[in-house]
């Protein structure tokens, strides 16, 4: 009786057996979609693939689209597709249900899609803008890869810190 029980999925794992209960696929996440949602999903995916080189992968309950970082993801739900697009600005539009600051540079926009015909401008324009945002961020950071510059500590400040210790 060598092995263990996975604390996530509660399945018995034999000793030496490979196990990854978090692994999922696009097919598994989109398997139970209605015809309208499946067509909307396929159109979203085709639109994103047309932008250029990127990585598309499933992670837990989402399908991620990324270049160096994720620029949008889709969470398939029972009655809609929840799309989260990361833009460099906040957009006010009827399609956007909610905006949330995601970082100093990016704002997450939550959009619900229920039909294939909704995957058209302005949504496709926002997807392209999100895809191209990484190029703009890299250019504005001067090749630093988005990192902040090194901060120098003044000699006086470091002496004060030494006295406190």
Structural domain contains residue 10: no
Long-range pairs for 13-21: beta carbons < 8 A, 24 or more residues apart: none
Q: Residue 118 is part of which domain span?
A: 22-146
Predicted TM-score (pTM) above 0.75: no
Summarised one tens digit per residue, pLDDT across range 12-23 is: 888 888 777 666
> How many domains is the chain built from?
1
Q: What is the predicted pLDDT for the residue at 121?
A: 96
Answer whether 85's CB lies under 8 Å from 95's CB.
no
Structural domain contains residue 164: no
The CATH number that applies at residue 113 is 3.30.1460
Structural domain contains residue 71: yes
Structural domain contains residue 5: no
Structural domain contains residue 1: no
């Amino acid at each position: 009786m060598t092995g263990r029980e996975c604390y996530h999925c509660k399945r018995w794992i034999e000793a030496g057996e490979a196990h990854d209960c978090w692994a999922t696929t696009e097919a598994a996440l989109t398997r139970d979609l209605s015809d309208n949602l499946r067509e909307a999903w396929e159109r979203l995916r085709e639109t994103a693939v047309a932008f250029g080189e990127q990585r598309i992968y499933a992670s837990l309950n989402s399908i991620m689209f990324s270049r160096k970082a994720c620029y949008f993801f889709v969470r398939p739900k029972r009655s809609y597709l929840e799309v989260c697009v990361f833009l460099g600005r906040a957009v006010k539009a009827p399609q956007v249900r909610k905006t949330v600051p995601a970082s100093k540079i990016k704002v997450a926009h939550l959009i619900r899609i229920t039909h294939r015909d909704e995957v058209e401008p302005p949504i496709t324009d926002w997807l392209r803008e999100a895809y191209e945002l990484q190029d703009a961020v890299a250019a504005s950071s001067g090749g630093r890869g988005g990192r902040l510059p090194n901060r120098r500590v003044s000699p006086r400040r470091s002496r004060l810190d030494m006295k406190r210790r």
